[in-house]
Chains A and B, each alone.
Chain A
Amino acid sequence: MTKLTALVIKWVLIALALAGVLWVATQLAIAGYTMAVIVAGMLGIGILAVYGTRRNVPLKYLLPGMLLLVAFQLWPIIFTASLSLTNYGDGHLISKEETVTDIIAQSVREVPDSPRYRMSVATKEGASATTGDLVLLLTKPDDTMFVGDTGGLEPLPADGVEKTTTGKITKAPGYTILTAREVNARSKDLSALAVPTGDGGGIKPVGLSEAFEGKPSVTYDASADRLTDSSTTPPTVFEPKNARWVSTADPSVAFPQGWQENVGFANFTRIFTDETLRAGFVKIFIWNVVFAVVSVLSTFLLGMLIALLFNDPRLKGKAIYRSLLILPYALPGFITALVWRGMFNQDYGLINGALGLNVDWLGSPWGAKAAILITNLWLGFPYMFIVCTGALQSIPRDVREAAIIDGANAFRTLRSIIMPLLLVAVGPLLIASFAFNFNNFGLIYLLTKGGPFDGNDTSIGSSDLLITYAYRLAFSGSAPNYGFAAAVSVVIFIIVALMTIPAFRQTKALEEVN
């Protein structure tokens, strides 16, 4: 490759990267994220400064990895910490201003003799028909067209738009119009949708192909920070309380829309003061530690014993043994966990069938714990076997011989010579294994999902780890509470750090001996 071609390739790549950044910046600008546009601009300048000049050679190699690291590892950690101080979650996903516009738009009642719109339900092009935000394509009786969503109403350019004789839009560039069946599937989202119009009114759908414009019954008084609903007699006044609009007359009456709010350390206080949560948290924590310790010890013990078994130069066929013993480790973890779940099935499973037992493995608290430990022993011992074999082979022969000459028997040699050397060698790996198992989400989730659960408490399972508990808080159930889940994650961060950093220090000191 000549210098010239290399130069051409370099500048083509830089140009492509800059074009990509520009495209992202445009999309961000359209969506109205000013700060993000600035960040994208700085990124573009950064790319040009690093790759377009002859300086900053190390950065040329580090920049791609660093960008990804900052964006998808460092930022999520910082973001988790900041989320843990909020109430972000179901019913608290939007800002306070948005709740006001939303509530007012929701309260729209049809004004007699106001115009009706022909309506088509669509999503932005590329968005999913089942989950994407809904957009209304509207035609007024005078044939002017609009596009409306929760953000407001905008005129729809006539270019490329096709409509039926009645005015219903059937095609519009940039939007995918949903079929009647798809709209039906989302009737709940549709009925919750109201398009705010500039003058305090709103447009709401009626049925699947019409919408009306009306006036809201709720008004907002910005100076007093109160909402007043005049559809009731007497009018109800709502005040902001705990990130929701609550009636001043009857505290049990409130609008469903809440806003995201900074709650300080309330999530953390809740973990440690709420009676049920604290009891549950302590229970989960104890099992989490027991699980990690027993997993590491059992896999290490079995792996070491098998390594010792095969640590005999006269033994033939060691390569075959090793290839076969590595298989549990080689299979993808999700497969083995799911297969073991099938084998632990109380009624049909292999284990109860073959051993003539009738243990409710996955349905009873102790059975589930035993099943998890057995499965993890099977999953993890090949790793320890490999590691121990490597360490045993690096123990010099003459050290053992010296022990034998000094009159030590096989057991004594093992205990006083081999074990200490082995532990020095594999110590850091045991700690890493502990840290890994402490957050072994996949195994627990696939095997028991954290269950079984006590009859009346569905939030804390008897085989839950902290990580599966945090996951359930955030992603399952009808009311995800991201803020609280983030707080639990932060607590796990701190626990893991407190437990592993001193251990790593210890082994660092060992390593620095040489």
Chain B
Amino acid sequence: MSTVNAPVPADPRLETRVDAAVGRHTETPDRGGLGKRVWWRHLLGILALVWALFPIVFIYSAATNPSGTLNTASLLPSGFSLSNFDKLFSDPARPYWSWYRNSMIISGVGALAAVFIGACAAFAFSRLRFTGRRPGMLALLLLQMFPAMLALVALYVTFAKIGDVLPAFGLNTSIGLILAYLGGAMGSNVWLLKGYFDTVPKELDEAATVDGASHARIFFTITLRLVMPILVTVFMLVFVGLYGEFMLASIFLTDVENQTLGVGLYGMTLGNDANQFFGQFAAGALLASIPVVALYLAFQKQLVGGLTQGSVK
């Protein structure tokens, strides 16, 4: 696990842009102060925390609220009861654990595949020289400007047709949805990955080549190990992104058994049931948040490094 916690280099673009604009980048150890006291900063900081956290406290209160409806939910917990969780787990029309499992499988498999595909592409772009390398990189950047979801109609029709011939890969299947997500696997992360691959010294490859290692051996046994930190970062960015994806999932997954957490929980908040099911919904939301929040808190450093490079939520 030691490699996992290795820091991602701070965003080169942020710093180079500032350095370029300033014209220098030496830092003096002497720290002159602005403002005399810090207590007002704490005061405003706590205000910011209240703004950031009150909806989250509200989710907790609603989830543990004994009566479990929206109109009885208050900001601060009014009592502690697990009845909402009980109801959530025992509702046959809303198979919560199936949703949870689907979400974990789709996000996990999708992120793993995306990292592998991205790493392969980044290795080619960083280490190999071939015609079309630069145009290829630029084309990938350009393609990212067109959000894939705008092509949702075409994606839907395509997968409906695929499903006619190969039912296991069509609409309403996890595999189909993962495939649709993987269309963007190479494009969205390759720049981030390539930047990190470039920092691994080329001399290592050359030495291994002299020793008779093939390109595949270099890739799998040398490069992939050295770039592990960025692979972890990209895995988490993709995982979190897929976990929260709603639009394609809602179009693709129509059977309640196949749905993800997002689509399933959304169904709970519709129509006249919204008030009645709010406690159950909040309980489900609370549990659904745990994996991603844990990932965020555990890997803050890597994520911050990755976020500033242009992945936007």
- For residue B309, which residue of chain A has the nearest CB? A429
Q: How far is the CB of B105 from chain A (nearest CB, A)?
A: 16
Structural contact, B292 and A386, CB atoms closer than 8 A: no
Q: What residues of A have a CB within 8 angstroms of the CB of B44 in the complex?
A: 309
Q: How far is the CB of B154 from chain A (nearest CB, A)?
A: 4
> Known interface pairs A332-B244, A343-B55, A343-B58. Does A474 touch B153 (Cβ–Cβ under 8 Å)?
yes
* Binding-face segment, B80-88, B89-97, B118-126, B225-233: B118-126
Q: How far is the CB of B277 from chain A (nearest CB, A)?
A: 10
* Binding-face segment, A214-222, A274-282, A485-493: A485-493
Interface residues of A in 379-438 (CB under 8 A from B): 379-383, 386-387, 390-391, 394-401, 404, 410, 413, 420-421, 424-429, 432-433, 435-436
- Most interface-central of B31, B52, B186, B293 (chain A CB within 10 A): B52
Q: How far is the CB of A29 from chain B (nearest CB, A)?
A: 10
* Binding-face segment, A58-66, A162-170, A187-195: A58-66
Q: What residues of B have a CB within 8 angstroms of the CB of A482 in the complex?
A: 153, 157
A322 within 8 A of B: yes
Q: Chain B interface mostly helix, strand, loop or mixed?
A: helix
Structural contact, A333 and B313, CB atoms closer than 8 A: yes
- For residue A487, which residue of chain B has the nearest CB? B153
Q: How far is the CB of B38 from chain A (nearest CB, A)?
A: 5
Structural contact, A61 and B124, CB atoms closer than 8 A: yes
B215 within 8 A of A: yes
Q: What residues of B have a CB within 8 angstroms of the CB of A342 in the complex?
A: 62, 70, 73, 269, 274, 278, 281
Q: How far is the CA of A347 from the CA of B275 in the complex (A)?
A: 10
- For residue A449, which residue of chain B has the nearest CB? B270
Q: How far is the CA of A54 from the CA of B66 in the complex (A)?
A: 67
> Known interface pairs A68-B185, A330-B296. Does A61 touch B157 (Cβ–Cβ under 8 Å)?
no
- Most interface-central of B74, B157, B240, B295 (chain A CB within 10 A): B157
Structural contact, A306 and B48, CB atoms closer than 8 A: yes
A69 within 8 A of B: yes
A45 within 8 A of B: no
Q: Chain A interface mostly helix, strand, loop or mixed?
A: helix
Q: Would you list 6 pairs from A and B whose C-beta atoms are within 8 A, ordered by A residue?
A: A31-B164, A68-B182, A79-B157, A321-B45, A325-B52, A339-B282
Interface residues of B (CB under 8 A from A): 10-11, 13-22, 24-28, 30-35, 38, 41-42, 44-45, 48-49, 51-53, 55-56, 58-59, 62, 69-71, 73-75, 117-118, 120-121, 123-124, 128, 130, 133, 136, 143, 145-158, 164-168, 172, 179-180, 182-187, 190, 215-217, 219, 240, 243-247, 251, 254-255, 261-262, 265-266, 269, 274-275, 278, 281-282, 285, 288-289, 292-293, 295-297, 300, 304, 307-308, 310, 312-313
